[in-house]
Amino acid sequence: MSPIRVVMVGGADMLQDVIRRVVDDDPVLELVGELATVKGLADLWERVTADVVIVRPLAAEVPSAIGPVCERAHIPAVLGVDNRGARGVIILDDLSRTRLAAAIHAAATLRDHVIPMKEAHMSQTSAANAKILIDSVLADHAINSLETFEWVTASPREVAGLYFYQQLDELIDLARAISFDFFARPHLYDALEDAEIVSSLAALHARYGHDEKMLSREQRQKIYEGIFTAGENQFTSGRDALLYAAAKFSERVYDTGEDMLRAAVRDAARTFKAYLTTLPGASLSWSRGKVLPKLTDKTAYRILRDRGIRAVFGQTTAIAAGWPYNVDGKGDELVEEASKCLHEPAEGSLSRDRFNAIQRVALRGAEAIATIVDYNDQPDPDIVDRLILKCYTWHAALVQVAGPPTLISPDGNRPLRGYASLSTT
């Protein structure tokens, strides 16, 4: 079998390493070139011949960069184009090595069926074939580290990241409480693991609510309200209708009526996606990309992960570096002990069990929302079932925190009220 020659375009990160291992492990695949950006592709085609080009992240100039430099130039294959036919599509929005390898082989096969390009752009010649292939793919979004979180909640799925931050918003308040304790009991904080933590504690203490990247709880709530509770509660009603349909399918007793139940899920998913994808772009991107990452992972989460901070509250075992993007019992213990020590009795402390349940809502909800945004109403039962699995897992996490949804409406189509006792949803 002839080798499949692969070119990778994208920054150095975890996904790039995964792609490289996929190519190394498959004897048919051969890596013939790597670039950081698409700008060097035209020059690269003068030196190498490629069957598949993996382009990530997407950029507006990708079509012209991937297209042939002249009529006789070799045409590297791409998996497809976006829904506007304007940009090259990442081979597979997924960290599964098996599916990634399968996608590379599929892209090479697609290349053999693409009409030779003359002066036309890639999007004009391969859109039809690409759409058929793309329609058979729905990413299996899974968050278990900062890297996977960044990938899953990247554009156009920023709303998934905002949902995660909203659910774990109490961690910011807990870190701020620690910042007050740092100055009130300085003798306890004499062995911080990271020297820069002092600057983070000082910033939370002094600039909280007075800096565009150190938002107060009230300011953060304004961001969340604009997305999740504004207007006619479209987020809540769309979510509840979709999760109700997914639960009906997943909890069915008999297999009769599967097609109708899947159709109900698809209908609810179309409605919910329509809302999610029409949210204000600039505001959402700013909050997800600039403001909240600074306040969460670079400040609050970093403070909570520090060994010296944990020692103040009697915690000596290290917390996983990827927490809270993955579940770690030691993180749950820290939250409980710090909350118990620093919160006033009237405010109530956050127990480890409740935090673990809320964290599950954050993770499973973000994964489900990202999947819903990616879902393009494909009728393939396997793809619909993947969507249902993500939604039902989110539903189960919500039930653990808030209890089962309340009574359904008289017409039986959707809940009258959803998971109302969970205040942050």
Do 67 and 118 form a contact (C-beta atoms < 8 A)? no
pLDDT at 184: 95
Over the stretch 149-205, which tens digit does the pLDDT of each residue have? 988 898 889 999 999 999 999 999 999 999 999 999 999 999 898 889 999 999 999
pLDDT of residue 49: 83
Provide the 10 A C-beta neighbour count for residue 28: 13
Residue-level pLDDT at 281: 76
pLDDT of the residue at 84? 37
Looking at residue 136, its pLDDT comes to 52
Sheet hosting strand 4-9, strand order edge to edge: 29-35, 4-9, 52-55
pLDDT of residue 175: 96
Question: At a CB cut-off of 8 Å and minimum separation 6, what does 208 contact?
Answer: 176, 179, 214, 216
How far is 366 from 163, CA to CA, in rounded Å? 6
pLDDT value of residue 224? 93
User: How many residues can be counted in the chain?
Assistant: 425
Q: What is the pLDDT of residue 26?
A: 87
For 75, 239, 390, the CA distances from 66, given in Å and listed in that order, are 8, 39, 34
Residue boundaries of the structural domains of the chain: 4-134, 146-402
* pLDDT reported for residue 233: 82
Residue whose entry in the numeric block shows the structure tokens 């007793």 = 253
CATH fold group of domain 4-134: Rossmann fold (3.40.50)
Residues 6+ apart with CB under 8 A from 59: 37, 38, 87
- Structural contact between residues 386 and 371, judged by C-beta atoms closer than 8 angstroms: yes
Label residue 164 left, alpha or beta by phi (over 0 means left) and psi (-120 to 50 means alpha): alpha
Task: Record the tokens describing residue 291, joined without a space.
Answer: 């403001």
pLDDT at position 259, please? 93
Nearest by Cα to 72 from 35, 32, 103, 45: 45
Those residues of the chain that have pLDDT short of 70 are 1, 11-15, 56-100, 102-103, 106-137, 231, 280, 344-348, 404-425
pLDDT tens-digit series, residues 278-307: 876 788 889 998 899 999 999 999 999 999
pLDDT at 253: 85
- Give the per-residue pLDDT at 308: 94
The answer to whether 32 and 5 have CB atoms below 8 angstroms apart is yes
